[in-house]
Amino acid sequence: MGLKKKLVILVKDYARNHEGFRKWARETRTKYLYREFRKGADRVRTDRKLVYLNSFNGRSYSDAPKAMYEYMLRDDRYSGFRFVWMFREPEKYRWLEQNRDTKVVGFNSREEVETLREAGYWITNYRMLEQYVPKEDQTYVECWHGTP
């Protein structure tokens, strides 16, 4: 086992037993990931005809994001728009790519991050990872049910 892997195991073991350290480590990691996301996002022009979608954090093709997507596919006002669906198991949903201008990407993949940096619209019914915060000119549509 390599030194890096041993170190990761030691840190995780320590964090498991020390709540203050665990909280600090989580916050530090989130801040780092947020800075990295923003660095890239600030260099990318927002595309108002690109839509990012996910349902239940990439676990299914369902609910309000599905309904909104299917509506946009039928409505001529959205011709020329591109749609990117994120799934945890993208291979199961490749059939969606038969629809016009639709792409399927994997959870936390480079393609997902690039789409989030560029998309004019984010449509989801589940919370986003903390490091993903939309820019001023991006629209984040949260289709949550109940009280988050």
Per-residue pLDDT of the chain (148 residues; tens, 9 = 90+): 889 899 889 888 998 999 999 999 889 989 999 999 998 898 999 999 999 999 999 999 999 999 999 999 999 999 999 999 999 999 999 999 999 999 999 999 999 999 999 999 999 999 899 999 999 999 999 998 766 5
Burial of 32 (0-12, 13-18, 19+ CB in 10 A): exposed
| Residues of the domain holding 77 | 47-142
Same domain, 22 and 59: no
Does some domain include residue 148? no
CA distance 45 to 43: 7
Same domain, 7 and 78: no
Does some domain include residue 147? no
Per-residue CA distances from 41 to 44, 99, 131 (Å): 5, 27, 12
Same domain, 127 and 62: yes
Same domain, 12 and 73: no
Does some domain include residue 54? yes
Same domain, 87 and 110: yes
